[in-house]
Chains A and B, each alone.
Chain A
Amino acid sequence: MIESVLFYTFAALALVSAVVVIAQKSPFYSAFGLIVVLCSLSGIFAVLGSPFIAVIQLVVYAGAIMVLFLFVLMLLNVQRETDDVGGSAPLRLAAAALASAFAAQVAAVIARARIVSGPEQYEASTRKVAELLFSPAFLYVFEATSILILAALVGAIVLAKRDL
């Protein structure tokens, strides 16, 4: 009972703030909306019985990525969005095509998903996540992640520092 109430509350909050993120003209309001979205998602993860993912969501997204976003907004000194962002006709066509492709993809995922009615049917404790992550099945994926992080680090430095 309490799970469904909380789930729908968080889901509604996430959806509304997501709309705010897109509809807002001021980038700082959008950023604030995004924080609410990320916190609601974290709440949904907690309701689904996975506190570890919920906390990661907070630390990495709401804490770290949002600070980066705000820094970038300051860095570029982004002002209010102007209204004439329509673009040319081919661009609009491409945007529509991409959006419908994305919608189709989401629909396909939802259609194929196995619906479970509550968090009781699977276990997502921190220990379980750890055991899965460090099982041989995910060993290479895990090590590949570190290479990805390394590449991102080098990329950021090369982009930011011109005088290397």
Chain B
Amino acid sequence: MLPVYVPILILAVVAIGFAAFTIVASHLLGQPRPTDAKSAVYECGMPAIGTARERFPIKFYLVCMIFILLDVDAAFLYPWALIYPQLGWFGFVEMLVFMTLLGGGFAYAWKVGALDW
């Protein structure tokens, strides 16, 4: 019996091979001839001022944090969705408690404006 992940591995190897092949092929076919103008940072013709790597707004961090927490929540919901028929109303109530707690957190985030961009 074939382990289920073998085709995924084969596809991964082929995908990595494809990526490597295109890099090599494009390197061989399109000879790099760098000039100063070409290797400058592209900012629509304006000379670039300073570096791009500046500090970023904290909004991104907040969105990502909320995303992770809901992602973990979803990771718990999947096993439940799989076996809820065996669990019956017990499982439903269990999930309802879980969802209510999370919904509370979500409502709090909404209320204090953490979801506003």
Contact = CB atoms under 8 A, between A and B. Distances in A.
A–B interface present (Cβ within 8 A): yes
Interface of A: 2-3, 6, 43, 46-47, 51-52, 54, 56, 59-60, 63-65, 67-68, 71-72, 74-77, 126-127, 129-131, 133-134, 139, 142-143, 145-147, 149-150, 152-154, 156-157, 160-161, 164
Interface in B4-26: 4-6, 8-9
Contacts, number: 131
B64 A67 contact: yes
B62 A68 contact: no
Contacts of B113: 161
Contacts of A130: 78-80, 82-83
Contacts of B98: 142-143, 146
Contact of A134 (B4, B91, B97): B91
B112 A161 contact: yes
Contacts of B68: 60, 64-65, 68
Interface residues of B, number: 47
B66 A77 contact: no
Interface of B: 3-6, 8-9, 53-58, 60-62, 64-69, 71-73, 75-76, 78-80, 82-83, 86-87, 91, 94, 97-98, 101-102, 104-106, 108-109, 112-114
Contacts of B80: 130, 133-134
Main secondary structure of the interface of A (DSSP, over half): helix
Contact of A149 (B53, B64, B67, B102): B102
Contacts of B64: 64, 67-68, 71
Nearest to B104: A150
Contacts of A72: 61
A133 B91 CA distance: 11
